[in-house]
Amino acid sequence: MIGISLGDGKAMSRATVGKWGKNLAIRFPSEIAKAAGLTDGECVEIKTRNGEVIIRRTVPRFTVEELFRGKSPKRWRAKYAGAFDWGPDVGREMVE
């Protein structure tokens, strides 16, 4: 049996470690998943510290397309025009 908490040190529920293929698994009780905002298929990071297992949501990784979706190159250049000034563009740096 493993006690599960949300980081405040208070156990909210208990779960039993079981086998899933060759791996061990824990099924999160629905109240824990709901309180942590976890959904089916979500990626989490698992690590150990001082004999405890820590599970937390992974940092989202975005593609370049996702980061720049919704704005044209012209709008991005206008938005950040004054952010950096390294002098005039030369050679292949020149953008039409």
| Domain edges within the chain | 1-84
Q: Give me the pLDDT at residue 9, please.
A: 56
- 29-50 pLDDT, tens digit per residue, is 888 888 888 889 888 889 998 9
> What average pLDDT does this structure show over 10-21?
80
Torsion of CA 66, 76, 80, 68, to 10 degrees: 0
Write the CB contacts of 3 (distance below 8 Å, at least 6 apart in sequence): 11, 13, 14
- Exposed, middle or buried by CB within 10 Å (0-12, 13-18, 19+), for 85? exposed
Domain 1-84 has CATH 3.90.1150.10: no
Q: Give me the pLDDT at residue 15, please.
A: 84
CB atoms within 10 A of CB 68: 13
Task: Calculate what percentage of the chain has a pLDDT beyond 90.
Answer: 10
Q: What is the CA radius of gyration of the chain?
A: 23
